[in-house]
């Protein structure tokens, strides 16, 4: 059996929060919040998608914008709290996961500073990734959030969002106790894409079982391609094709099996 992969950003930074003192947090309250209607059982990660951290934080505190998140993690690892975890932040928008909608009520949202695809998408710095990992681990000690419900904004709103995108290291996060990653599902390339309705039926079923909203029947239509791209950004970042190719199918079945195992 192969030893677990140690991501370079964990070799270069202090150990996660579970092994050291509480994560330092800067409080900059946002007025864009209200009461929750149900317990927290989801963690949704975003990127800010703006040209600077300051611009993003200003917008998340602007009453006219009417958006917010619970936390922002800057590129130097600074963690800013905008909304208390027991309050609802306005981060997910129109969204769906595992049969639920209106996900703001049941989720904690983390905005990760990155200009995003529109303004020069780039790698996430090592200190930032380590701080995100620490923060997620801390949140998981306070809320009953299953690994299958640690998701991307693009997972819950694939027709609108791409964040935090294919450069975010979901695999390393999962290897450190946050979310899911199918370790026994190697990349086998983009050969063999399938498009007909009959062969795609189990693909659609697997996507729905993981949590995506997808029609149970149909060929490779634009709606299915959009969901496949969202899946690939999270679990198959080697190639964002929107196709049900060989490499994607291996990862898809790997993630589905992890969801089934609890």
**pLDDT, tens digit only, all 262 positions of the chain:** 333 444 443 333 333 333 333 689 999 999 999 999 899 999 999 999 999 999 999 999 999 999 999 999 999 999 999 999 999 999 999 999 999 999 999 999 999 999 999 999 999 999 999 999 999 999 999 999 999 999 999 999 999 999 999 999 999 999 999 999 999 898 999 999 999 999 999 999 999 999 999 999 999 999 999 999 999 999 999 999 999 999 999 999 999 999 999 7
* pLDDT of res. 22: 67
At the fourth CATH level, which superfamily is domain 8-175?
Peptidoglycan recognition protein-like (3.40.80.10)
- Can you read off the two tokens belonging to residue 166? 């294919």
The backbone region for 137, taken as left when phi is positive above 0, alpha when psi lies in -120 to 50, beta otherwise, is: alpha
- Can you read off the two tokens belonging to residue 209? 């079982």
* Spatial separation of the C-alpha atoms in residues 41 and 139, rounded to whole Å: 11
* pTM of the shown model: 0.92
Domain 197-261 belongs to what architecture?
Orthogonal Bundle (1.10)
Instruction: Determine which one of 35, 75, 111, 162 is catalytic.
Output: 111
* pLDDT of res. 23: 84
- Check if 8-175 and 197-261 are the same fold: no
Give CB contacts under 8 A, 24+ apart, made by 31-35. 31/61, 31/63, 32/60, 32/61, 32/62, 32/63, 32/65, 32/66, 32/67, 32/68, 32/83, 32/89, 32/90, 33/68, 33/83, 33/84, 33/87, 33/88, 33/89, 33/90, 34/87, 34/88, 35/87, 35/88
* Spatial separation of the C-alpha atoms in residues 37 and 29, rounded to whole Å: 21
- 35 catalytic? Reply is no
Domain ranges within the chain, ordered by starting residue? 8-175, 197-261
């Amino acid at each position: 059996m192969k030893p677990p992969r140690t991501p370079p950003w964990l070799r270069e930074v202090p150990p996660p929060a579970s092994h050291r003192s509480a994560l330092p947090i800067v409080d900059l309250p946002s007025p864009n919040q209200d009461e929750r209607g149900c317990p927290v059982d989801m963690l949704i990660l975003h990127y800010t998608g703006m040209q600077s951290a300051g611009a993003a934080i200003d917008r998340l505190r602007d009453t006219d914008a009417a958006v917010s998140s619970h936390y922002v993690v800057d590129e130097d690892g600074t963690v800013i709290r905008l909304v208390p975890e027991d309050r609802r932040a306005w981060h997910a928008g129109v969204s769906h996961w595992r049969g639920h909608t209106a996900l703001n009520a049941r989720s904690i949202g983390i905005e990760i500073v990155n200009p995003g695809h529109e303004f020069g998408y780039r790698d996430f710095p090592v200190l930032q990734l380590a701080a995100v990992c620490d923060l997620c681990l801390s949140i998981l000690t306070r809320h009953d959030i299953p690994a299958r419900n640690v998701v991307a904004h693009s997972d819950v709103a694939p027709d609108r969002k791409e964040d935090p995108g294919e450069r975010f290291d979901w695999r390393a996060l999962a290897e450190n106790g946050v979310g899911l990653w199918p370790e026994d599902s190697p990349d086998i390339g983009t050969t063999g894409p399938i498009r007909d309705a009959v062969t795609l039926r189990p693909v659609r079923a697997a996507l729905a079982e993981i949590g995506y909203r997808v029609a149970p029947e149909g060929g490779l239509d634009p709606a299915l391609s959009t969901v496949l791209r969202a899946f690939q950004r999270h679990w198959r970042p080697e190639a964002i094709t929107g196709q049900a190719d060989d490499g994607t199918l291996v990862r898809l079945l790997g993630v589905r099996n992890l969801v089934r195992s609890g």
